[in-house]
Amino acid sequence: MNCDRTGRDYLIDAAATKSTAFTREERDSMGLRGLLPHAVATMDTQVDRVLENMRRKSSDIEKYIFLTALQDRNERLFYRLVSEHIEEIMPLIYTPTVGQACREFAHIFRRPRGFYVTPEDRGSIRRILDNWPEDEVKVIVVTDGERILGLGDLGANGMGIPIGKLALYTACAGIHPSQCLPVMLDVGTNNQALRKDPLYLGYPHERIEGNEYLSLVDEFIEAARDRFPDVLIQFEDFLTPNAYGLLNRYRNDILCFNDDIQGTAAVALAGVHSASRATGKPLRDMRIMFLGAGSAATGIGDLMCEAMKGEGLSDMLARQQLWFVDKDGLVVAGRDDLMEHNLPYAHKFAPMDFLTALDAIHPDVLIGATGAPGTFTKAVVQKMASFNDQPVIFALSNPTSKAECTAEQAYDWSDGRALFSSGSPFAPICRNGKIHRPGQGNNAYIFPGIGLGALAARASRLPEEIFLVAARTLAALVTEKDLEDGALYPPLTDIRNVSRQIAINVAECAVRLGISDLTDEEAADIPARVASLMYEPRY
């Protein structure tokens, strides 16, 4: 105990406070008598009080603000609440509510959280990183705010994404809050409405680009790794060219990954593994069509290609099972408007629109990653159902307002036969007396466990095999009862166990691949090592 601290210091320290749960003895020894009401509350009572007050709020954004305030004043209580009520709380602190929170970030701003880098900090990033009060940062989530969910360029308002992701690292995988650092590379915004908003808090200029942009990112990466040598860096919500460019720039040299490309890929692959069990059709035999050909969709395709190769297909045959449609129609050879990451999937095939392509290719699985709501129309779902007994439909775009279709639409238009998953949550649907529980293909099933496993293994990098292992682990945790209910993912209530299992398998994979610097003794009991790293939010 620090004798220089006053009772009030303990009360306002978010990491240390227990508020009304301080015991009589603690109140005496810490100078808290008279500063608290008489009753000594239990943590369970505090959780009940928080829930009661949160549920009084009339809108989800008000609940988000309320929960953010709780995180700022009592960290352990916040994470206990999230962990024990994940199904109710996760949609409020992350998607879909975080989309609105990012749009309104400057207007609902209460208290600084995270670290900001602007072009004006060039040459000084390493020095100013010393201003961050924690020395043992293990996970950084960084964005430049250019492609926030399906909402586009939100500039510095995009800080809500790293904050939300890191809250899930703690709640879902037990990474200690002090080891988490949200970072905004505030390189400007091309959103003129934001720049004109008098309350906007970001760098009020057009985005820097090209070498000027890359050199700033390079300086940040170098500074972060010098300040926090073992840190895992997660790239989040970068525009497709930068998402791929930065991943390819760093992936072979440092511990990093891009969640939109690789995390989304792993969670989608897990869902398709589960669908394979439900339909009885092996993954290698499935034809998969993507509506959308950006970083998320292509990342899923790349990982699925690797998974199919693991089932015996050649690279060429695996890619022939994967088809992409963008705003200009089917991605085919001969188009002169394709980006580099699209070229491996540009098949020798006639140009055609989306509906015509469905008729021509008869996919078993349809995956939406468009950010364009309503693109899985009644005609699309009915066509999928016309040649599939159980059409597999993933409407992955976030937030909910951007979903390609709703769960109810997918079930209604397929006569209740669809295996449906979405990026944001949908409530269970009762149709003709049967309850359908739509699975949520949320990256929260994947990235916390991968991060925990990477830290447990002290991994040096994260090759594709890591994401294949994570996807297989997640799919294996789906029970037969889940599949009977139409759910391709485990219930969110099991998320900490999911993260633990993924972490164990990821760490063991890292050891096998020779990308871990654990000693033989440390590597002898990976499950115990993972468990020892998991923070429990209790007093």
Q: Is the peptide bond before 282 cis (omega within 30 degrees of 0)?
A: no
Q: Check residue 131 and report its DSSP letter.
A: T
- In 3D space, the residue among 374, 328, 378 whose CA is nearest the CA of residue 353 turns out to be 328
Q: How far is Cα 93 from Cα 86, in angstroms, rounded to an integer? A: 10
Q: Would you say the C-alpha torsion 306, 309, 315, 319 has a positive or negative sign?
A: negative
Over 143-206, what HEC string results? ECCCCCCCCCCCHHHHHHHHHHHHHHHHHHHCCCHHHEEEEEECCCCCCHHHHHCCCCCCCCCC
Tokens 């072979």 locate to 252
CA–CA distance from 41 to each of 24, 37, 44, 325 (Å)? 11, 10, 8, 57
Check: CB of residue 358 under 8 Å from CB of residue 289: yes
In the three-class reduction of DSSP (H, G, I as helix; E, B as strand; rest coil), residue 419 is classed as strand
Bridge partner residues of 374 (DSSP): none
In the three-class reduction of DSSP (H, G, I as helix; E, B as strand; rest coil), residue 323 is classed as strand
Intra-chain end-to-end CA distance of the chain, in Å: 15
Check: CB of residue 438 under 8 Å from CB of residue 422: yes
Tokens 């309850």 locate to 435
- 94 is a catalytic site residue: yes
Nearest 5°: phi and psi at 75?
A: -60, -45
In the three-class reduction of DSSP (H, G, I as helix; E, B as strand; rest coil), residue 486 is classed as coil
Q: Provide the token pair at 376.
A: 């899985």
Question: Could you tell me the strand order of the sheet in which 439-440 lies?
Answer: 329-330, 322-326, 288-291, 365-368, 392-395, 419-422, 439-440
Indicate the helix (H) or strand (E) that contains 523.
helix 520-523
Half-sphere exposure of 387 (CA within 13 A, CB side): 14
Among residues 18, 63, 138, 165, the one annotated as catalytic is 165
Q: Would you say the C-alpha torsion 16, 17, 23, 26 has a positive or negative sign?
A: positive
**Kindly report the CA angle at 298 between 296 and 301, in degrees rounded to 5?**
115
Q: How far is Cα 330 from Cα 157, in angstroms, rounded to an integer? A: 34
In the three-class reduction of DSSP (H, G, I as helix; E, B as strand; rest coil), residue 452 is classed as helix
CA–CA distance from 422 to each of 74, 405, 440, 457 (Å)? 32, 9, 5, 32
Q: In 314-463, which ranges are continuous DSSP H helix?
A: 315-320, 354-361, 378-386, 407-413, 447-457
Among residues 10, 94, 213, 244, the one annotated as catalytic is 94
Burial class (CB in 10 A: 0-12, 13-18, 19+), 197: middle
Q: Which residues are catalytic?
A: 94, 165
